[in-house]
Chains A and B, each alone.
Chain A
Amino acid sequence: MLSRTANELYWMARHIERAENTARMLDITSQLALLPYRQMEPGQSWAAPWAIPLITTGIATDFYARHPVLSPENVLDFLVCDASNPSSIAACINAARESGRAVRGSISQEMYEDLNLTWLELQHYTLERVLSQGPSDFFDWVKRRSHLFRGATFGTMLRDEGYSFIRMGTFLERADNTARIVDVKYYTLLPSLDDVGGAVDYYQWSALLRSVSAFEAYRKIYRDTITPVRVAELLILREDMPRSLHACMGEMYEILKGLSDAGTREPERLAGEIHAQLHYGRTEQIFATGLHEYLMAFLDKTSQLAQEITDHFLVPVQR
């Protein structure tokens, strides 16, 4: 398959997944913002709920360059509608659709039509409409469109190399996002030790679980109160949790095993290494390392992996 085509497919999937994850992140944010948070934490404006999505994705500086004031409207504008912000939902959907258009011959017609319809419907959403309808409606729409696209992909696309690159785009982006979400709660939201286990703590953890559609799964597996250790186990180490790091990296390793030949062993090896650490990892060891440090190291490894995939498959240097 043409490298450029593989590259577009990979980024098409990454952008759709990113749009979905941004919607998830904003959804948890708007729920956390309902708590009487500021009264508990005077002066800690960096930890204000509406700063969360900016901090996790590392774009707070860009935000403040455009909006001097942190307000729900400004954050939503920046992360939903602002096409000049490459992380916004609008920009992600535009980019995904552009990629799909560039390689529409390599995806099924139903996939392209679905992507195109998402883009057409997006044109009707303005900040005013998102706000007046209630942002949750909009976030649901984004998630639904992403689900539909994945469903169309799963149900209609030939299982060829292109399919593998689409899947890799999805899982790399998803792993990245889950790691960031877990990290944020642990570092940014814990107000003080006194609050651990309290009502606010509970609400925060459950919102976090919900944002990655893991709340029901947690209940089903643990049938117990929500604790950070179990959340970390569920979202990092459980293989059967579809958005966990383990699940994502398991997929990555399987896909790369199938794609590798003599010249492309390194991406496979690296994916195998990351996967093995998750597969044989224990929560004790994660918390001994420090959750934040552990997650940062994971993000480093995955971005290395993304670079290897790019160099070996997507943007090969002329040999």
Chain B
Amino acid sequence: MPATFYNEMHAADAGVRAHYRQFDHWLSTTAPDRVAQKRSEADLLFRRAGITFAVYGEAAGTERLIPFDIIPRIIPQHEWRMLERGLKQRVHALNLFLHDVYHEQKIVKAGIVPAEKVLGNAQFRESMRGVDVPGGIYAHIAGVDIVRAGEGEYYVLEDNLRVPSGVSYMLENRKMMMRLFPELFAREMVAPVDHYPDMLLENLRAVGPAGLPNPTVVLLTPGVYNSAYFEHSFLAQQMGIELVQGRDLFVKNRVVFMHTTRGPQRVDVIYRRIDDDFLDPQAFRADSMLGVPGLFEAYLAGNVTLANAIGTGVADDKSMYIHVPDMIRFYLAEEPVLSNVPTWQPSRPEDLSYVLAHLADVVVKEVHGAGGYGMLVGPAATQAELEDFRARLIADPGRYIAQPTLALSTCPTFAGTDIAPRHIDLRPFVLSGRDINLVPGGLSRVALREGSLVVNSSQGGGTKDTWVLEA
């Protein structure tokens, strides 16, 4: 691993970077006691407000706080402009790709993406072929994970097009910072993010079944034991829409209704936070207790919009990731603004032998994995873990991809009472409806353990407020 990392706040030789100067001044002139007191206040407020998440593998209902670090991640305006352009371009191309693979498959015919990668993909939904979705939009909400490496260049690490989560923390973190340190916001021009729920609702209303001027939008959650339940209820509440579970809905004559105290009421748009597999026991997994029988038929009949659409998973798994730059060139005839991380595909024999030879230097991920589960970080792995992954790679190479261990940038972070650099990433949320838009910034996650590169909350990561400076 490289000995030095790009530090978001401190340049190697030139002191504090320009966009951090105001903050640095505040931090160095504020009494440590006050900062410490504010940090514990933040903890208390998060706990009291019940802003928690559940960890799978622990007893049902176990709730944990995501550690919140009060030192913000600051992005200068010119960098954000570039990121914003790149993100819109990328999500635009991904939506065009999804429409294409479920219609003409031009990109396959042009030989850019191999047919077996599309048709043989477990996330490809044969039943979606030829189905037209409103506006041709599949990924209404996309969470694109971005990291900064080496000398400061940004890379896209992965695209989350199924049910990306985390946006509620982005919003709550900002609210917390403004409550704890109003003086900071009086001094700095931090671009606001609070309008995200409005923007989301507007996008969802724009994609209702054809011709409906005033569609009824609901948010479908798996329920209180889901790890992101807080977020589901938070977003539903902020948008002023009903938070429904599968059992609240039923389908009659291919139309979706919800049970209300005034009898059945029609539902037009479902912002669903349930995976495809569990949406409809009649169409997908028969054992799903979370879904709505008949929902898929109603969807195919065009009587209800699902956001995100069914079948988006084909575009966001890690084996398709490598083709995204080519998708941008193919559909938009543009050069990608944002780069991919170089990626090896062990399904190719030459890549497999390279990866096996350099296992201790690379990161290996499951193609369909998410949440930081089932991955290998070579430089941090034990001998036994390396051997385990070696065997797994040889047994089933198509299940994995590998990437160089990126020298993820760091941001100063509280570690106990000291401040030390910790690795971070960024997840902006890109919304597609009538247009493509996003609020400035996103969710910054931080790996709290020294040297760790895994920022997932399920693996001990924390979060920071993300500031895009307007001046």
Contacts and interface: CB of A to CB of B under 8 A. Distances in A.
Contact of B261 (A6, A103, A109): A6
Nearest to B244: A2
Chain B interface, DSSP helix/strand/loop, else mixed: mixed
B49 interface: yes
How big is the B interface, by class?
20 to 34
A5 B247 CA distance: 12
A266 interface: no
B47 A2 contact: no
A32 to B, nearest CB: 37
Interface string B232-263: 01101100001111011010000000111111
Contacts of B245: 4
Interface string A88-107: 00000000001001111110
B243 A116 contact: no
Given A98-B224, A102-B224, A116 B261 contact: no
A316 B48 contact: no
A263 interface: yes
Most chain A CB atoms below 10 A, which of B247, B258, B262: B262
Chain A contact-residue range equals: 20 to 34
A316 B247 CA distance: 12
Nearest to B236: A105
A316 B263 CA distance: 8
A113 B49 contact: yes
B294 to A, nearest CB: 12
Most chain-A CB neighbours within 10 Å: which of B243, B244, B250? B243
Given A4-B245, A113-B49, A105 B261 contact: no
B233 A104 contact: yes
A158 B262 CA distance: 18
B50 interface: yes
Given A105-B234, A105-B236, A105-B243, A116 B48 contact: yes
A124 to B, nearest CB: 14
A2 B248 contact: yes
Interface string A54-76: 00000000000000000000000
B371 interface: no
Interface in B255-277: 258-264
A120 B63 CA distance: 12
A219 B445 CA distance: 63
A3 B49 contact: no
Interface in B45-79: 47-50
A192 interface: no
Contacts of A117: 48
A112 B51 CA distance: 11
Given A3-B259, A113-B50, A259-B261, A318 B250 contact: yes
A116 B48 CA distance: 6
Contact of A2 (B48, B49, B234, B260): B260
Nearest to B218: A2
Contacts of B47: 120
A175 to B, nearest CB: 22
Nearest to B45: A113
A106 B219 CA distance: 13
Nearest to A316: B259
A317 to B, nearest CB: 9
Given A116-B49, A117-B48, A2 B258 contact: yes
A161 interface: yes
A2 B218 CA distance: 11
A101 B236 CA distance: 13
A3 B261 contact: yes
Contacts of B233: 101-105
A313 B250 CA distance: 16
B259 A105 contact: no
B242 A5 contact: yes
A103 B50 contact: no
Listed from nearest, the 6 A-B pairs whose CB atoms lie closest are A105-B237, A3-B259, A116-B50, A313-B261, A105-B233, A105-B236
Interface of A: 1-6, 98, 101-106, 109, 112-113, 116-117, 120, 161, 165, 259, 261, 263, 313-314, 316, 318-319
